[in-house]
């Protein structure tokens, strides 16, 4: 499992083009390990059945920047999002399942982005324990994921989120539950997985304050 410091910029209006995103990242003083830019397009819209927008702040784009070391200050990172017209979220990231995506490549399926607020009453330690320690194996065993990244928000832009989840699914999973969930062709087993995933998710996040959208993700660097 890899862990890294990560800046995520969410775009609620216009999403920058690839050149604009790379130019903005050039202002970062720390070494950049990876840059990916995801956007809502015709390809990702095929997965609209998975969209959830309970608090009316659904992003239509996401820029993720992996840093080699922890930043001494978040101010310069936050400015990147502001300059691009987005909201910056400084995160500690964990990647239990690394997606296969080479520089210049676009993931053939879709990226499911879930931006959530924690369950009421949870402190930071409890949130991380339930999410990182207990939920990870449930998420990976109940879904047919091709990549899974957890981003614990340390300093949030607006709107406020406690965590951002990035999961990669096949193109078929955009419209087919049997391709989305593990053992999907066994209907009884699939519904058991859905129940287990929902129960585990509800232990640390508020489903009524969780935004979900599928995007098309491209690695820029």
| Tens of pLDDT, residues 125-166 | 999 999 999 999 999 999 999 999 999 999 998 999 999 999
The beta strands (E) that lie in the chain are given as 2-11, 32-39, 61-67, 87-97, 110-118, 147-155, 163-169, 205-219
209 token code pair: 């304050």
Range of the domain at 22: 2-219
Counted domains in the chain: 1
Distances (CA, A) of 158 to 53, 85, 86: 16, 12, 9
pLDDT band at 192 (very low <50, low <70, confident <90, very high): very high
What is the percent of the chain with per-residue pLDDT over 70, rounded to a whole number? 96
Tokens describing residue 201: 């998710």
Mean pLDDT value of segment 40-52: 97
pTM over 0.85: yes
Kindly indicate the confidence band of residue 182, based on its pLDDT and cuts at 50, 70 and 90.
confident
What is the average pLDDT across 178-183? 91
Q: Is the pLDDT at 72 greater than 70, yes or no?
A: no
- Phi-psi label, residue 34: left if phi above 0, alpha if psi -120 to 50, beta otherwise: beta
Q: How far apart are CA 21 and CA 161, in angstroms?
A: 22
Q: Are 114 and 212 in contact (CB under 8 A)?
A: yes
**Structure-token match 């406690």, residue found:** 162
Q: What is the DSSP letter of 159?
A: S
Work out the angle at residue 167's Cα, subtended by the Cα atoms of residues 138 and 8, and round it to the nearest 5 degrees: 125
Specify the CATH number for the domain of residue 119. Answer: 3.30.70.100
Tell me the C-alpha to C-alpha distance, in Å, between residue 221 and each of 9, 17, 124, 199: 16, 14, 32, 37
């Amino acid at each position: 499992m890899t862990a890294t410091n990560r800046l995520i910029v969410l775009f609620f209006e216009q999403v920058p083009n690839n050149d604009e995103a790379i130019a903005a990242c050039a202002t970062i003083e720390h070494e950049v390990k990876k840059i990916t830019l995801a956007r809502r397009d015709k390809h990702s819209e095929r997965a609209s059945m998975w969209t959830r927008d309970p608090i009316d702040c659904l992003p239509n784009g996401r820029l993720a920047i992996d840093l080699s070391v922890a930043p001494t200050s978040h101010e310069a990172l936050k400015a990147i999002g502001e300059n691009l017209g987005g909201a910056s979220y400084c995160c500690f990231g964990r990647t239990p399942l690394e997606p296969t995506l080479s520089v210049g490549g676009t993931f053939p399926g879709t990226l499911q982005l879930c931006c959530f607020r924690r369950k009421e009453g949870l402190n930071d330690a409890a949130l991380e324990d339930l999410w990182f320690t207990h939920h990870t194996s449930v998420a990976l065993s109940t879904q047919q994921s091709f990549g899974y990244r957890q981003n614990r928000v340390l300093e949030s832009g607006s709107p406020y989120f406690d965590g951002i989840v990035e999961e990669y699914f096949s193109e078929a999973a955009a419209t087919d539950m049997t391709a989305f969930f593990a053992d999907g062709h066994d209907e009884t087993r699939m519904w058991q997985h859905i129940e287990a995933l929902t129960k585990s998710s509800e232990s640390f996040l508020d489903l009524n304050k969780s935004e979900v959208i599928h995007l098309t993700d491209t690695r820029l660097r």
